[in-house]
Amino acid sequence: MSKELIRNRESNIPLSLHDSRIINIEYQERLLRLKLDKIFQYTEEREIIYTGEIDFTEIDIDDCNILIFDKTVYEGDFSGKAISLTEYAKQYSNAEFEILSEGYNGYCTIYSGWIWQEGKEPVSAIINIYNIGKIIYRIDS
What type of residue is 111? Y
Q: Backbone phi, then psi, for 38, in 5-degree steps?
A: -150, 140
pLDDT grade for 117, boundaries at 50, 70 and 90: very high
Q: Tell me the torsion sign for CA atoms 32, 33, 34, 40.
A: positive
User: Is a pLDDT exceeding 90 seen at residue 93?
Assistant: yes
SS3 breakdown of the chain: % helix, strand, coil, rounded to 5? 5, 60, 35
Spatial separation of the C-alpha atoms in residues 41 and 105, rounded to whole Å:
21
Considering the entire predicted model, what is its pTM? 0.89
Name the strand (E) or helix (H) holding 37.
strand 31-42
The percentage of the chain sitting over the pLDDT mark of 70, rounded to a whole number, equals 95
pLDDT grade for 86, boundaries at 50, 70 and 90: very high
Residue 40: closest CA among 28, 48, 32:
48
pLDDT tens-digit series, residues 8-57: 666 667 789 999 999 999 999 999 999 999 999 888 899 999 999 999 99
Domain extent, residue 97, equals 2-140
Burial code (b: 16+ CB inside 10 Å, e: under 16) for 31-57 equals: bbbbebebbbbeeeeeeeebbbbbbbe
Quote the number of domains for the chain: 1
What type of residue is 132? I
